[in-house]
Amino acid sequence: MKRRDPNHAQPRVMRKRVILISVMALVGGAALTLGVLTFTSRGDTDAAAQRVSQWHGLRVYRPEPASPRWRRIEPGEDLAPRVVLLVHGLDEPGSIWDQLAPALDDAGHATLRFEYPNDQAIADSADLLDAALRRLRAHGVEHVSVVAHSMGGLVTRDALTRSSLLANAQAERASVDRVIAIGTPHAGSPWAGMRWASELREQAERLLGESHPEAEDLYRFSFDGSGEAGEDLRPGSAFLTDLNARPAPEGVVFTCLVGQMISPPEGSPADLINLARSLGDGVVPVASAQLEGCDDIVRLGANHRAMIRSLPLSAGQTPPPGIEVVLDRLSKSNSP
């Protein structure tokens, strides 16, 4: 049998790679050019910014078959005295709540979600959350249970502990008495620098999820901040150092849902156990998701999103494990 010379095959492989990269570059360039032409022909950056800003703020959930599923609060509308407020994390298009929101509604909880420019500095997002709590109070809400995913837990903690936001807070904003933090990186995430990957997933999911996407939708990322949140999420950042030095907010019950993708069998070597804990939910290490001083820590065998959102191709399987925990903890909240 004639032996193949591996050196002879290398140029052929390299040519194929060059062709593939060239084709991808051409397709990507064409898509970008088309987007720019469409964008400039239909509006300007001010129009795009105005459209994107319409998604920020508070939305009220309403069950199917209502459309849209999330609506704005009407002027003068009275909301329930107690509500559940969902606060998303970094580069999140909103689909993280697709299964939790209906479950909350079925359990009788008045449910809202809070949207903010998720790439901006976390402190700026906390300012917006503070304003949202004040708005909820103006609409008759007295008590709030926050369910926060990922970075949303840090936004919530900052809004509840920063001294400059606490002046007259009790009288002017709805009172948060329970926080359920799901996969929140209280000590940061080693993946904080991978903003481009999470940004790509967010924008792709937004476009695919829109029934009639507008040209401006391609530019939402331009108005979400400049990556300051990613810097805040780095372990040891100035933001996290300051936040974790503050005392816990008074009168607030915390629950931490901690994901761990790999659970080594009993008797495994220490190195394997430490590796699994460092990997955590794939985004947040186990130690980082455990808030110091939190007495209610629940470990789940799931990745960062699968704690409350089924993975693709998992239809018909067991519901995400975090939903049951969230419903259980909310059932223990004090009645208004």
CA 227, 234, 248, 184 dihedral sign is: positive
pLDDT category at 20 given cuts 50, 70, 90 is low
> What pLDDT does residue 34 have?
40
**Within the chain, where are the H helices?**
6-42, 45-53, 100-106, 122-138, 152-161, 163-166, 169-172, 195-209, 228-232, 238-244, 270-279, 286-289, 321-331
**Region 226-233: what's the mean pLDDT?**
86
Q: Is 134's pLDDT higher than 50?
A: yes
Predicted TM-score (pTM) of this structure = 0.78
> What pLDDT does residue 226 have?
62
Contact assessment for residue 58 and residue 114, using Cβ atoms and an 8 Å cutoff:
yes
Q: Which residues of 148-175 are buried (b: 16+ CB within 10 A; e: fewer)?
A: bbbbbbbbbbbbbbbeebeeebeeebbb
194 contact partners, CB below 8 Å, separation of at least 6: none
**Region 19-38: what's the mean pLDDT?**
46
Alpha-carbon span 203 to 126, nearest angstrom: 23
Residue with tokens 């949303």: 152
Q: Which residues of 51-74 are buried (b: 16+ CB within 10 A; e: fewer)?
A: bbeebbbbbbbeeeeeeebbeebe
Looking at the DSSP bridge assignments, the partners of residue 148 are 87, 181
Where do the domains of the chain lie, and which CATH numbers do they carry?
58-192+224-331 (3.40.50.1820)
Cis status, amide bond into 249, omega within 30 of 0: no
